[in-house]
Amino acid sequence: MFKRKSYLLLVLLGVILYWSKTRIVANSFNEEIKLDNSYIQTYQELNGRWVLPFELKKSFKDLIAQYGTNETEIKIVNGLPQDKDISLNVALFLPFHDSYINKIIESGNGREIIYTHKKELLWPVAYKKSFIFSAFGRRERDVHSGIDIVCPVGTLILAAEDGKVVSAQFSGNYGNAILLNHGNEGLQTLYAHNSLLLVKEGDKVKKGQAIAFSGVSGESTGPHLHFEVRNDNVVLNPEHYISSTKPSLVRLAKLEDF
């Protein structure tokens, strides 16, 4: 009887050890990603928010004071000359002081932290009701080189993976488009038909970082993101690289996560 109990205990211990090892291995392929949202965004590794000219509902100086930044910092981040006035006719990134970030977090509007697989691309549209309405593949006489994701104009477009901006410009039928190089055996992603680009050539971006606002620029019949995945300039089906399941929410980010 004693030997049988000992045997069962050993079997149970083996199962627990195997399960624990499997969990450790599985978790080693996951990573935590902080998603930019409409309240907090990222640029040049700083936390803040992109402000558009038509959004200004209070004086610029009042907004600077509210966010806890200053004109010198704003000029440095946005690559503006220090000896000239700040133009309010273009999008500007305004950094946040920790105290303002904390206010956003306390209001429940902080960033989401999610788990994603390291080898999977992030869904690039920050609109929870977005969906694919046109898949990759042949379209009558031509081939659709990516997927079209429906979303309202002005939706945040997120970098699907860490990378570097190869180009960010108007590009014919693609309209306002961004091409990212992920430095992973020639892997690149393209984001087209945007209304406004938030990054420039040479910028480094992080997975989950806002890089553009969606739109209808270029050859587009309605508001959506055209998203491509390329490897050595060969287009691939993005659905094979994006997670087939919604990334699991870990928690809302706290101040110490920033």
Q: Does domain 121-242 have CATH number 2.70.70.10?
A: yes
The rounded distance, in Å, linking the Cα atoms of 22 and 88 is 54
Amino acid making up residue 193: H
- Find all residues with CB under 8 Å of 163, minimum gap 6, and list them: 180, 181, 182, 183, 189, 204, 205
pLDDT by residue, tens only, the chain of 258 residues:
544 555 445 444 443 443 443 333 344 567 889 999 999 999 999 999 999 877 777 788 999 999 999 999 999 999 999 999 888 888 899 999 999 999 999 998 988 888 888 889 999 999 888 888 888 877 777 788 889 999 999 999 999 999 999 999 999 999 999 999 998 678 999 999 999 999 999 999 999 999 999 999 999 889 999 999 999 888 999 999 987 545 556 667 676 676
> pTM of the entire structure?
0.84
Q: Are 214 and 153 in contact (CB under 8 A)?
A: yes
> How far is CA 52 from its chain centroid?
19
Integer angstrom CA distances of residue 187 from 136, 147, 162:
17, 17, 11
Q: What six digits make up the tokens of 126?
A: 């920050």
For 112, 132, 181, 206, 237, the CA distances from 160, given in Å and listed in that order, are 16, 16, 11, 8, 14
CATH 2.70.70.10, the chain: domain bounds: 121-242
Query: Quick count: other Cβ atoms within 10 Å of Cβ 9?
Result: 10
Q: What angle do CA 226, 242, 236 make, to 5 degrees?
A: 60
At 172 the pLDDT is 94
